[in-house]
Chains A and B, each alone.
Chain A
Amino acid sequence: MIRLQNIEKVYRTSTIETLALNSINLEVAKGEFLSIMGPSGCGKSTLLNIIGLLDAPTRGDISIGEQKTGHLGDRELAAFRNKKLGFIFQSYHLINDLQVVDNVELPLLYRSMSAKERKQLATEALEKVGLSNRINHFPTQLSGGQRQRVAIARAIVGRPEIILADEPTGNLDSAMGNEIMEILMDLNRNEGTTIVMVTHDENMAHKTHRLVRLFDGSQVS
Chain B
Amino acid sequence: MLRNYFKIAIAVLKRRKFFTFISLFGISFTLTILMVATAYIDKLVNDPYPDAKRDRSLYVNKLEQKMKDGRQSGPLSFYFLDHYAGSLKIPAKVAISSMSRATNTYVNNKKIVINYKYVNSDYWDVLEYDFVEGKPFSKQQIANGEHVTVISEDTKKEYFGETGSVVGKYIEADNVKYRINGVVKNVPVTAYQFFADIYLPYTVSKTDYKDKAYHGEYIAILLAKNEADVPAMRKEYEQMISKVPLPNKDITKMYSHANSYLVSYVNVGSEDTSGIAYVITAIGLFALLVMLLPTLNLVNINITRIMERSSEIGVRKAFGASSRTLVYQFIVENLILTLIGGLIGVLLTFIVIRVLNNAQLIDNLYLTINFTVLLYALAICVFFGLFSGVYPAWRMSKLNVVTALRQNN
Contacts and interface: CB of A to CB of B under 8 A. Distances in A.
Nearest to A90: B409
Nearest to A157: B319
B344 interface: no
Contacts of A154: 319
A130 B23 CA distance: 41
B358 interface: no
B325 A93 contact: no
A117 B78 CA distance: 81
Interface string A103-134: 00111011100010000000000000000000
A55 B15 CA distance: 31
B319 A82 contact: yes
Contacts of B8: 95, 97-98
B320 A93 contact: no
A92 to B, nearest CB: 8
Contacts of A86: 319
B405 A107 contact: no
Contacts of A109: 1, 4, 321
B273 to A, nearest CB: 52
B157 to A, nearest CB: 60
Interface residues of A, number: 32
B117 interface: no
A54 B318 contact: yes
Interface stretch (A59-67, A71-79, A210-218): A71-79
A83 to B, nearest CB: 8
B316 interface: yes
A105 B8 CA distance: 13
Contact of A91 (B15, B319, B409): B409
Given A95-B312, A115-B3, A107 B320 contact: yes
Interface in B283-326: 311-312, 314-325
Contacts of A98: 7-8, 11
B173 interface: no
Given A74-B322, A82-B320, A93 B402 contact: no
A81 B409 contact: no
Interface in A25-77: 49, 52, 54-55, 74-75
Chain B contact patch, size range: 20 to 34
Most buried by A among B3, B322, B400: B322
B1 A97 contact: no
B393 to A, nearest CB: 15
Interface string A137-168: 00000000000000000100010000000000
Contacts of B3: 115
Nearest to B9: A97
A197 to B, nearest CB: 16
Contacts of A75: 322-324
A54 B401 contact: yes
B12 interface: yes
B311 A97 contact: no
A102 interface: yes
A86 B11 CA distance: 26
Contacts, number: 77
Given A55-B400, A102-B7, A93 B311 contact: yes
Nearest to B318: A87
Contacts of B321: 78, 109-110
Contacts of A52: 318
A94 B320 CA distance: 15
Given A95-B315, A110-B321, A89 B7 contact: no
Contacts of B319: 81-82, 86-87, 106-107, 110, 154, 158
Contacts of A93: 311, 314-315, 405, 409
A110 B324 contact: no
A196 to B, nearest CB: 14
A97 B318 CA distance: 18
B11 A97 contact: yes
A130 B405 CA distance: 26
Contacts of A102: 4, 7
Contacts of B4: 102, 105, 109
A106 B318 CA distance: 11
Contacts of A87: 315, 318-319
Nearest to B401: A54
Most buried by B among A74, A78, A82: A78
Contacts of A49: 401-402
Contacts of A97: 7-8, 11-12, 15
A52 B314 CA distance: 13
Contacts of A78: 317, 320-323, 325
B214 to A, nearest CB: 72
Given A54-B405, A78-B321, A115-B3, 18 more contacts: A49-B401, A49-B402, A55-B401, A75-B323, A78-B325, A82-B319, A82-B320, A86-B319, A89-B405, A93-B405, A93-B409, A95-B311, A95-B315, A97-B12, A102-B4, A106-B319, A110-B320, A111-B320
Interface of A: 49, 52, 54-55, 74-75, 78-79, 81-83, 85-87, 89, 91-95, 97-98, 102, 105-107, 109-111, 115, 154, 158
Listed from nearest, the 7 A-B pairs whose CB atoms lie closest are: A82-B320, A97-B11, A78-B322, A91-B409, A110-B320, A107-B319, A54-B401
22 contacts: A49-B401, A49-B402, A52-B318, A74-B322, A75-B323, A78-B321, A78-B322, A78-B323, A82-B320, A83-B320, A87-B315, A93-B409, A95-B8, A97-B11, A105-B4, A106-B315, A106-B316, A106-B319, A107-B319, A110-B319, A110-B320, A158-B320
